[in-house]
Structure 1
């Protein structure tokens, strides 16, 4: 519209008594006010404008309330919810590890302004405040959820050193919620100034638990085998023991990380056989040494029509699982290495047939270790009923390898056995309970597994008795009928005369005594029932959820035991996210902001790796 046209609109809008301007499709004329002042209100937002001097001011307002480019009748433009816009920005920062300055980037602001012209840009400080607000809100929600958890809470914790060399302590809670779903939540990711002694770490742990209000709900804590962790558990147990909140006075509190123990066992064995795998390592280095060698090796693979789909892997000496993967892929290309030795005279590290046979035996021995470590360290955090028979499989493999005719393999297995006996000569008792609470196995699998091992009958019976008696002790003291009965002294509120009776409670005691005589405990009843088919897939938590009516108290015990984490992988997984949050480009980020970003991401998005 030209300037003259606009002027004509302004002149004729009221002078002629007709509303010729387009704005009157969007504005309502108001009654003439004092002094003959004419006003009009926007039908979109209700804002009032003066109409005496023309309609240009109203035209400028139209795009804020209406989509003028849309055909048809006028459509009201949806107003922008600025608070929601800021919250969505904060969510994107938390979920994708964006820097707070992301909201100040010109491209970001231009995009948001394009999407809605009412957007009000915010600063990095405002974005940070919004993230902290979300953190505080979600922490309050999680606190309330933890208070409502009927069962116990199991913990894992570990230390991490950031790129700035600051030590961070991650504390993770594991529990089964009201829907019988296993949950994992990172409670704290706090910077801990040195020294990192067990006593100091225990003090931080005690403060964390008090802040969350779950010190009376602690069941177990899973830790790696660092020496300071033994001190940590002792100090923490002593504190909780003062309030009489430890399960069975702390007999089952400390659980050792199974993945860490497996790593120690394998690393001990690899020290013995380092020479046996050196030629394979040198062969891989040779092939990966240049583009020409890679091409020649690929020609060998093509000539032999090898299609195993595996990469030629170089191991990291300090990571035994990478060594296993290197050996496994090398065996798949064994013939290709043999052909390479024929066509390339500079390739000098080709293993002999005897060495290949040894590598094959080593790989077969390490395979169950690798599979079980992968299972234990899975992102789905498996329930603890997987612990017993997988540790038993490890023991079986080691004992078989001790009898190997190859002295190198036998020596490797003997060193592994020493480390196994140090940590697992007596299987973790509370984790062994978990396989008994799997209705496909119960005690029969424990008896069967021990019978298959090379141990004397007396030793086997002692181990069985330890697990059997320990399980009954836990049930009777914490979940069985004795833990739910109590006597009370009856007092009259209508008289000041004491009505104390020294034999008060005799009737309830006699009733419970008869109940013990005449009825079996829920644990005994469960154990006497026939096992389910072990070959069928079974969600153990779902089984106990479905059988709450039959075993109301035993199901509570099963829920708590099955939520015990086998490894500390839940805490360790937060370290990879922490490395992204506190990257080399964000070293000045405050530790409080790091904790807020990481914990809020876990609570909102479950630490998705996106």
Structure 2
């Protein structure tokens, strides 16, 4: 006799002569669930486990979360048919999601017609273990800019350029993209320089680099920027003493805050700026401190008149010098904000900010104030040391902005202290043409245009247009006509009016014009996706610090990588408030009520 089992309560019934008894049981089954519309609820244990794994990844739950008594009671209440899992199975489910999403991303990367730009950096965890992260940056076929973490891998000591290169190349081979790399952005550590030198001189991988790797290595702009500013602050630090101490004084006690708030009110100061304290290791906080304190100069002077303990009140000379320092630091702060964006912009937006920095330093080194002049000279010396290569990569990117092209380069470099700026711009133009030639001869284009002859019954039949013979005849007897390249046509075409298109999305422009400039647009995709900083990798470290914290320090490197990478692929980088930064700010308007 045939038997049938209820999938809800697992009670067995005879099913040899129809299904009447089974249908009767469904009406009274205690575990059968029905939706509001009368349809039967279908519980899928596989879907449940997949969703649970994704929740662990997204919210950084511990694996033991699934074994907690209250958690299991909740799951059982939601569906009595749920089968509870152990922490080991939860970990296995997370790895399964990781492998599945990795396969999807790998397929996308392999199908790209464009190249891929990389960033890489090292991080030390709470357990003092070293991890290397590698992030891929690319523009897809729909002209969307993406940033994906490829690995968050444990690196046992010691590590050096050759060791890191071998690990990196192994990773790229695993993803199948070792011959699709356009550039790599690194900080200024010596082992990174060693790694790049070996990479560019290794025949097996050098052949895949465009222009023999001439534009392959990009230095982290944020790191260089920090070095430049810190060099200047060393020179000027004494000049900021009174302003820094004045800010600390009015913030120190509740009574002083109330008194300073009254001084602001009596000085009739109306501004949305707030008084900020700076942190010695964060130069941008020094700029914000100056920017805010300068606006409250009258209030500080008033406080000195009524509070005899306030002996560090800045003098008029201190305020004048503070304004000059703030003016000098402003372009650094503006571009640092651009550098540090989680959703980083395309590379064409950096050139103007970096040029402003160089121009302002050149102007400041010649002013009469010896302190400011010394500061500018120290910063300019550091700028020239690290930014020799910025002009090429960033110039390429701004050339591909249809609002500027060569005209902005010619203007900007003419404003700098350069005797040979015309030759310099011409050199950048020639390098761009050299790079473009590599795209013109790329197999992705030349292979589709070649045509062959097919023999039919002993007769050669040309599969092309017969008029092609005329082209060959003309070339042989009259010489070939000069044909302008796509890059020629683009540069000669009228520029877009930047006032009409102040917020132009350069990717939308190239998406629209890709049919006109197929090879040039492919080059634009690669150049515009270059990350100018390693911020993307550092964002991964921030997530890594939350996953591998003091409460989860025993997690295996494989589990850390699976959670971090999958979180990046599925949910991106979450934007979180900087609570430490907020603690440095005081709004004295709150003390007037």
Residue 338 of structure 2, aligned match among 337, 359, 375: 375
* 2:487 is aligned with 1:532: no
Indicate the SS of the match to 1:221: strand
Question: Which of the residues 462, 467, 471 maps onto 2:432?
Answer: 471
**How many residues are treated as equivalent by the alignment?**
554
Match in the other structure for 1:62? 29
Q: CA deviation at 1:375?
A: 1.0
Cα drift, residue 300 of structure 1: 2.8
* Partner Cα distance (1:428, 1:177) in 2: 26
Alignment of 1:263-412 (within 5 A): 263-412=226-375
Cα distance in 2, alignment partners of residues 284 and 275 from structure 1: 15
Deviation at 1:66, TM superposition (A): 4.0
Equivalent of 2:484 in 495, 507, 520: 520
Corresponding residue SS for 1:364: helix
Q: Distance in 2 between matches of 1:558 and 1:40?
A: 64
**Greater Cα offset, 292-301 or 382-391:** 292-301
Taking the TM superposition and a 5 Å limit, the aligned residue runs for 1:167-566 are: 167-239=130-202, 241-242=204-205, 244-425=207-388, 427-456=390-419, 459-479=420-440, 484-485=445-446, 517-535=481-499, 536=501, 537-566=503-532
Return the match for 1:113 from 76, 85, 104: 76
For 1:23, the equivalent position in structure 2 comes to: none
Task: State whether residues 315 and 323 of structure 1, in contact with CA within 8 Å, keep that contact through their aligned partners in structure 2.
Answer: yes
Partner of 1:141: 104
The 2-side partners of 1:115 and 1:62 are apart by 17
Which of 1 and 2 has greater Rg?
1
Tell me the C-alpha RMSD between the 2 structures.
Answer: 3.3
Greater relative CO (CA pairs within 8 A, separation 6+): 2
Q: Can you list the C-alpha shifts for 1:203-229, whole angstroms capped at 9, x where unaligned?
A: 111111111110110010011112221
What SS is found at the alignment partner of 1:475?
Answer: helix
CA contact (8 A) 1:476 1:482 kept: no
Q: Does 1:608 align with 2:574?
A: yes
Q: Cα–Cα, structure 1 residues 374 and 132, in superposed 2: closer, same or farther, change >3 Å?
A: same
| Equivalent pair of 1:338/1:350 in contact (CA under 8 Å) | yes
Shift of 1:297: 2.4
| Equivalent residue in structure 2 for 1:100, among 63, 79, 90 | 63
User: Which stretches in structure 1 are left out of the alignment for 5+ residues?
Assistant: 1-32, 495-505
Aligned partners of 1:365, 1:274: CA distance in 2, in Å? 14
Q: Secondary structure at the match of 1:65?
A: coil
Instruction: Report the Cα offset of residue 305 of structure 1.
Output: 4.6
> In structure 1, how many angstroms separate the alpha carbons of the residues matched to 2:437 and 2:331?
37
After TM superposition, list the pairs within 5 Å mapping 1:118-137 onto structure 2.
Answer: 118-137=81-100
> In 1, Cα distance between the equivalents of 2:272 and 2:414?
40
Per-residue CA distance 1:43-67 (angstroms, 9 max, x = gap): 988954489xxx9x97997330045
Instruction: Give per-residue Cα distances to partners, 1:455-501, cap 9 Å, x unaligned.
Output: 21xx212311220110010111233589955899999999xxxxxxx
Does structure 2 conserve the Cα–Cα contact (< 8 Å) formed by 1:138 and 1:603? yes
**1:312·1:326 contact (CA, 8 Å) conserved in 2?**
yes
| SS of residue in 1 equivalent to 2:411 | helix
Give runs of ≥4 in structure 1 deviating > 6 Å: 39-46, 57-61, 486-494, 506-516
1: distance between equivalents of 2:271 and 2:140?
Answer: 44
Residues 67-86 of structure 1: matches in 2 within 5 Å?
A: 75=38, 77-86=40-49
Name the TM-score, length of structure 1 as normaliser: 0.84
